[in-house]
């Protein structure tokens, strides 16, 4: 039975009056499980008007009260952790364990949002000149917007609206049309936690709905996570309209393997970090760079890849699930084919994998390429599937040159037993998130998520102190209070003494 996913406008969950819907499918068999409405122009306008109206009173709510809303929300999210993960699994195909991780990483950001009173503290200097003090205050911006991708339907919306709202803003979320059920459940729990009407609104749809948000005079800041072309478009449009924007985009993450690394650790980590979540993680390892003699280990990856078996979300033995859509699967298969045609050696080929009984699902088996070169499409393109490309170089310097010449800069890691090699790599690599013997170095939310180059357009990153700055403006106040009626004439100079 499919159902229409409601909109959240002005505190009410209501069906859209649109005639345009996008099917939400179970990726394991492509059956339609829900429909995402494309919100009408009037519904978009109402959502924006509601957020703008709510801002007038929400910004006056003390930050400690706003933090208390996040405390209640955190408790509710924990209480509903399994239920959220089950919804998430059904619309993404993620295994239940992985879906729980998706929800959990979002809960951790809500915990950081509880810290907003400390994050909104300004600075004060007494006597900047005689009897004159200066203080800075941190104030919210107004209506903020979030546009999120399909691959983390709990974590990524939770990167955005809790921090923005705790800072005193109101928010409009436009989640991915491919898995809108998890975000709308997150919104229901937020209302249950006590969020006043209009503080969070949720609209559904695609480009048309996003364009309204990007072009509306009431929206002040835009957070986006998704692919490179859409990220570039949103960054240019939002900043062209004089709005603040942070756009997290695609990735191609390399792991460098030094010959002095712990071999068993390297091999096990490479399998999980590359094909886990069907490779649909923006921090997945998609390129393994073997330095010197470590190349001897590549053949040992083959049996490990062959052992990995995808399956249904509720199969505890399943390593990962199907890809999100037939389109995503077709793209991955096309790139695997190009890899073979361009001369890479396909040691394990997952192109023909299918799950018995679920042949119509978007399955791709684990795929391992060796002899990959920089010119090949499988190296140049973000595959976003369960595919690992192995490359070989002679020295750490060559590995650094390879990684640094890649246009993406989301994450990277090095496996080594040498502190000196690790130190050199962390210092010289031009990538924003570095792991040392840690394959997928996603920072916890008291830091920020700091992708670089084509993986991020903007200045201030997601969560942590940077998010508190992204969602606020600083006001400095300089004040003097006169004790006596000291006769003074007009002051014609810039000097305040
Ligand atoms: P996507 O770019 O197709 O969609 C992302 C969002 O943009 C969705 O809400 C979608 O409705 C909207 N959208 C799509 N086309 C649009 C258009 N023309 N104009 C305006 N809005 C549009 O991305 P996706 O396929 O959902 O997600 C996968 C991508 O996200 C991958 O490239 C992955 O690397 C990236 N990603 C990056 C990070 C990061 O932190 N850097 C994190 C997660 C995902």
The full DSSP string for 199-210 is: SEEE---SHHHH
Residues of the chain with CATH 3.40.605.10: 3-249+455-477
In the chain, % of residues over pLDDT 70: 98
Whether the CB of 253 sits within 6 Å of ligand 1: no
- CA 452, distance to chain mean position in Å, is 13
27, 177, 230: residue to mutate for ligand 1 pocket, most atoms within 8 A of CB: 230
What's the gap in Å between 149 CA and the centre of ligand 1? Answer: 4
pLDDT tens for 202-226 read: 999 999 999 999 999 999 999 999 9
In the predicted model, is pLDDT for residue 49 greater than 70? yes
Beta bridge partners of 132: 129, 480
CA distances from 341 to 328, 338, 378, 390 (A): 20, 5, 11, 16
Q: What is the mean pLDDT of the chain?
A: 97
Residues of the chain with CATH 3.40.309.10: 253-436
User: Phi/psi zone of residue 70: left (φ > 0), alpha (ψ -120 to 50 degrees), beta?
Assistant: alpha
What's the gap in Å between 262 CA and the centre of ligand 1? Answer: 36
In the predicted model, is pLDDT for residue 85 greater than 70? yes
Whether the CB of 102 sits within 6 Å of ligand 1: no
Range of weakest confidence among 70-74, 236-240, 456-460, 489-493? 489-493
Beta bridge partners of 391: 289
SS3 label, residue 251? coil
Cβ count near 206 (within 10 Å): 14
Tell me whether residue 282 is one of the annotated catalytic residues.
yes
Whether the CB of 206 sits within 6 Å of ligand 1: yes
Q: What is the pLDDT of residue 496?
A: 55
Let me know: does 93 contact 328? Beta carbons within 8 Å: no
In the predicted model, is pLDDT for residue 277 greater than 50? yes
Average pLDDT of the residues in 450-469: 98
| CATH number among 3.40.50.1100, 1.10.1370.30, 3.40.309.10, 3.30.70.1380, domain 253-436 | 3.40.309.10
Average pLDDT of the residues in 148-164: 98
Whether the CB of 250 sits within 6 Å of ligand 1: yes
In the predicted model, is pLDDT for residue 402 greater than 80? yes
What's the gap in Å between 135 CA and the centre of ligand 1? Answer: 40
Strand ranges (DSSP E) for 357-409? 367-370, 387-393, 408-409
- Where residue 488 falls among pLDDT bands split at 50, 70, 90? low
CA distance linking residue 463 with residue 106, whole number of Å: 10
Q: What is the pLDDT of residue 495?
A: 65
Average pLDDT of the residues in 361-368: 98
Whether the CB of 225 sits within 6 Å of ligand 1: yes
- CA 177, distance to chain mean position in Å, is 16
Average pLDDT of the residues in 167-179: 98
- Give the nearest ligand 1 atom to 230 CA: 2
What's the gap in Å between 230 CA and the centre of ligand 1? Answer: 6
Q: What is the pLDDT of residue 1?
A: 42
| CATH number among 3.90.1150.10, 1.10.3720.10, 1.10.357.10, 3.40.605.10, domain 3-249+455-477 | 3.40.605.10
- Give the nearest ligand 1 atom to 178 CA: 26
Whether the CB of 226 sits within 6 Å of ligand 1: yes
In the predicted model, is pLDDT for residue 188 greater than 80? yes
- CA 87, distance to chain mean position in Å, is 19
In the predicted model, is pLDDT for residue 484 greater than 90? no
Contact partners, residue 436, CB within 8 Å, separation at least 6: 413, 414, 416, 422, 425, 426
Place of tokens 């990007």: 214
Closest-CA residue to 198 (of 103, 61, 78): 61
Cα four-point dihedral sign 36, 54, 221, 65? negative
Active-site entry in 38, 144, 282, 390: 282
What's the gap in Å between 283 CA and the centre of ligand 1? Answer: 14
- Three-class secondary structure assignment of 255-318: EEECCCCCHHHHHHHHHHHHHHHHHCCCCCEEEEEEEHHHHHHHHHHHHHHHHCCCCCCCCCCC
Q: What share of the chain is helix, strand, coil (3-state, %, to 5)?
A: 40, 25, 40
Contact partners, residue 164, CB within 8 Å, separation at least 6: 144, 146, 171, 221, 223, 467, 471
Atom 38 of ligand 1, nearest CA residue? 282
Q: What is the pLDDT of residue 486?
A: 61
91, 226, 282: residue to mutate for ligand 1 pocket, most atoms within 8 A of CB: 226
Q: Long-range CB contacts (< 8 A, 24+ apart) of 342-347?
A: 342/375, 342/376, 342/377, 342/378, 343/371, 343/373, 343/376, 344/369, 344/370, 344/371, 344/372, 344/373, 344/376, 344/378, 344/389, 345/369, 345/370, 345/371, 347/298, 347/299, 347/301, 347/302, 347/305
What's the gap in Å between 253 CA and the centre of ligand 1? Answer: 17
Place of tokens 């209302």: 191
Whether the CB of 286 sits within 6 Å of ligand 1: no
Whether the CB of 384 sits within 6 Å of ligand 1: yes
In the predicted model, is pLDDT for residue 177 greater than 60? yes
Atom 19 of ligand 1, nearest CA residue? 207
What's the gap in Å between 251 CA and the centre of ligand 1? Answer: 12
Atom 12 of ligand 1, nearest CA residue? 206
pLDDT tens for 101-134 read: 999 999 999 999 999 999 999 999 999 999 999 9
């Amino acid at each position: 039975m499919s159902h229409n996913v409601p909109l959240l406008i002005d505190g009410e969950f209501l069906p859209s009056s649109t005639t345009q819907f996008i099917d939400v499918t179970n990726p394991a068999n492509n059956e339609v499980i829900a429909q995402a409405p494309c919100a009408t122009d009037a519904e978009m306008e109402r959502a924006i008007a509601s957020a703008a109206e709510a801002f007038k009173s929400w910004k006056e709510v003390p930050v400690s009260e706003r933090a208390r809303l996040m405390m209640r929300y955190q408790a509710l999210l924990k209480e509903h952790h399994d239920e959220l993960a089950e919804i998430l699994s059904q619309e993404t195909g993620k295994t239940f364990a992985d879906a729980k991780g998706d929800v959990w990483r979002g809960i951790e950001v809500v915990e950081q949002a509880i810290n907003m009173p400390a994050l909104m503290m300004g600075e004060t200097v007494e006597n900047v000149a005689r009897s004159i003090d200066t203080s800075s205050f941190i104030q919210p911006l107004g209506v903020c917007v979030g546009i999120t991708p399909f691959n983390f339907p709990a974590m990524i919306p939770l990167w955005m609206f809790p921090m923005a709202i705790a800072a005193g803003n109101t928010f409009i979320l436009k989640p991915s049309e491919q898995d809108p059920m998890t975000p709308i459940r997150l919104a229901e729990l937020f209302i249950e936690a006590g969020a006043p009407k209009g503080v969070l609104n949720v609209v559904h749809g695609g480009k048309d709905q996003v364009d309204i948000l990007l072009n509306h005079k009431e929206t002040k800041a835009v957070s986006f996570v998704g692919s490179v072309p859409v990220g570039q478009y949103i960054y240019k449009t939002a900043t062209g309209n004089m709005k603040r924007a942070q756009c997290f985009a695609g990735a191609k993450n390399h792991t460098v393997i030094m010959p002095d690394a712990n071999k068993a650790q390297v091999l096990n980590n490479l399998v999980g970090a590359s094909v886990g979540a069907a490779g649909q993680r923006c921090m997945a390892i998609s390129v393994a760079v073997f330095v010197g003699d470590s190349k001897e280990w590549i053949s040992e990856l083959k049996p490990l890849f062959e052992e990995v078996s995808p399956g249904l979300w509720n199969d505890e033995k399943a390593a990962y699930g199907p890809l999100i859509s037939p389109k995503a699967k077709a793209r991955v298969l096309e790139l695997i084919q190009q890899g073979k045609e361009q001369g890479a050696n396909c040691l394990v080929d997952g192109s023909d994998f299918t799950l018995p009984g679920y042949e119509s699902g978007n399955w791709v088996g684990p795929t391992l390429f060796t002899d990959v070169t920089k010119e090949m499409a499988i190296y140049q393109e973000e595959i976003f599937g369960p595919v690992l490309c192995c490359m070989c170089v002679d020295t750490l310097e060559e590995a650094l040159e390879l990684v640094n010449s890649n246009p993406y800069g989301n994450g990277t890691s090095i496996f080594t037993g040498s502190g000196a090699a690790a130190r050199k790599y962390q210092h010289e690599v031009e990538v924003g998130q570095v792991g040392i013997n840690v394959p997928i170095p996603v920072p916890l939310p008291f830091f920020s998520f700091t992708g670089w180059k084509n993986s991020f357009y903007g200045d201030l990153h997601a969560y942590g102190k940077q998010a508190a700055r992204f969602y606020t403006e600083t006001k400095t106040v300089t004040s003097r209070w006169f004790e006596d009626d000291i006769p003074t004439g007009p002051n014609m100079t810039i000097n305040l003494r």
